[in-house]
Chain A
Amino acid sequence: MRRTLPVAITISTALFVLAALFLQGQVGSYLPYVLDLAILLMAVSALVALAYLVTRQVNKIRQNPAESTPNMVLVLAFSITLVAGLVFGVQNPAYNRWVAAIQRPLQSSLLGLSALVMASAALKLFQRKGIDAFTVSFGLSAVFFLLLGMNTSRLVINPQLDAALLTLSQLPLVGARGLLIGISLGALMVALRIVFGVERPFDER
């Protein structure tokens, strides 16, 4: 019973959502209730996980107070944000401005840093992975499509060559679609195994 009930709930929910998507006229009106329930469960689970996170940080501070400055900052910032959010409400413009004023510069600096690291990674690519067909074609195609993206084709006055370049510029899209088909195929297989009850991501076995 302990193992059968979660599987039964999973299969019936999956089948209901599928039916609601394809038979919108008949059962589609009930879909929002199921989705609302899922959102509610996700929100509660996020709260529980946050409680775990804060408890872990507090435990770290208690065990080693001398080396726990970042943990203290985290717990303090979390507490202030939580209390302010509860008092003023998350829709309060001043509260939102205050949160954004801290969050945005931090996120922007991380993005800037990642841009630098990405540039250096591109330069170190051949050193790390060696020179083979894959890395060489990656490097050449990156340069080629970068130039195409900079709209260099407008310098070409031959209309046939221009048409060829336009066709070539679609290649990254084709590659991305190929990858997405592969990902969707894998996701479809996992989803079907869950619906059939042979795969249980939530199960411990």
Chain B
Amino acid sequence: MLLLTTNDLLALLIVLASAVCLALFYWLSGTPKKSSIRLPSTSEALESLLQTSAEEGKPVLLNQGMGFSPNPEITGLLGLGLQRVIVNRSLTADRPNMVESGDGLLSLVSQQVSRGLYHNALMPEYFNVNQASLQALGPMANLAGLLTMVPESKPSGLLLYGSFTPEHLLALDQGINMNTSVVGASAPTTQASLWMHADHSAFGEDSFATVSSAKPEKSTLAGLRTADVLRILISIALLAAAILKVMGEF
């Protein structure tokens, strides 16, 4: 017997509608051009940061935050997509880009991703486990580790992408003399506090869009198109609900 509440049914409906939209965009349309997708400003900032970093010969430091702990959530995976992009760009560099995280499982997945990128580029001997490692366990310990890592590694730019706490603005404050700091955080309070100190910040769904547009593949761009369609549908639904509420229907 099904025990579904109205909220469960609505959630199921949204998931199914998203799945159908995504499948349609993925299988029916051809490979979309990157130029046809609305890109957040952080995409351009990221590209510029990677170019500057290559010219200066300095690494970019990416911290992926708390990942799956204390609450396992999909936003903890935000940094992994970005990691593929930045590691790929520095495979042959003297000082490759570095990735750190504050969660054990995320750091192991992150190591696997980096190791695989070097393996696929036929240079597995260049992979160093320290390029994708655990900073510390826990948000405060991760922050403390980051505070020592920024002056020690003298990076060209700092990327904070994933689950963070508002206190991580201390790391941005410490790296104030760097070229750029790009932030994509999942919690609204963190977004607000980090925005004050970051050169470029991605809000809401733009956090996901930055990662997707940095890796313009058919699936990621189809996901962006689906998100656009869903955004329009949700806006219409919210407007309709507001009108019905004003009319006293609810």
Contact = CB atoms under 8 A, between A and B. Distances in A.
Contact of A196 (B23, B144, B169): B23
A188 B14 contact: yes
B140 A110 contact: yes
Contact of B105 (A46, A56, A110, A186): A46
Contacts of B111: 52
Contacts of A24: 3
B69 A121 contact: no
B191 A179 contact: yes
Interface stretch (B28-36, B89-97, B196-204): B196-204
B204 A182 contact: yes
Contact of A186 (B3, B72, B207): B207
Interface string B4-25: 1000100010110011001100
Given A48-B104, A118-B193, A186-B227, A201 B129 contact: no
Interface string A167-205: 000000001101111110111111111011011011111
B196 A46 contact: no
Contacts of A128: 197
B204 A53 contact: no
Given A52-B134, A185-B231, A117 B170 contact: yes
Given A22-B4, A50-B137, A185 B166 contact: no
Interface in B79-135: 80-81, 103-105, 107-109, 111-117, 119-120, 129-130, 133-134
Contacts of A25: 1-3
A129 B115 CA distance: 38
A176 B74 contact: no
B234 A181 contact: yes
Contacts of B8: 22
A152 interface: no
B226 interface: yes
Interface string B137-149: 1001001100010
A168 B194 CA distance: 25
Contacts of A195: 19
Interface residues of B, number: 74
A204 B119 contact: yes
A180 B134 CA distance: 28
Contacts of B47: none
22 contacts: A22-B2, A22-B12, A45-B105, A46-B137, A48-B104, A49-B105, A50-B137, A53-B134, A110-B140, A117-B170, A121-B169, A125-B196, A181-B204, A183-B207, A188-B15, A189-B22, A189-B223, A190-B77, A201-B81, A202-B112, A204-B112, A205-B116
Interface of B: 1-4, 8, 12, 14-15, 18-19, 22-23, 26, 68-69, 72-75, 77, 80-81, 103-105, 107-109, 111-117, 119-120, 129-130, 133-134, 136-137, 140, 143-144, 148, 166-167, 169-170, 173, 186, 188, 191, 193, 196-197, 203-209, 219-220, 223-224, 226-227, 230-231, 234
Given A41-B105, A117-B169, 18 more contacts: A42-B68, A49-B107, A49-B134, A52-B107, A52-B133, A106-B140, A175-B188, A181-B234, A182-B204, A182-B231, A183-B207, A185-B205, A185-B231, A186-B208, A189-B22, A192-B22, A202-B112, A204-B117
The 6 closest A-B pairs by CB, nearest first: A204-B116, A182-B204, A46-B104, A186-B208, A49-B104, A182-B205
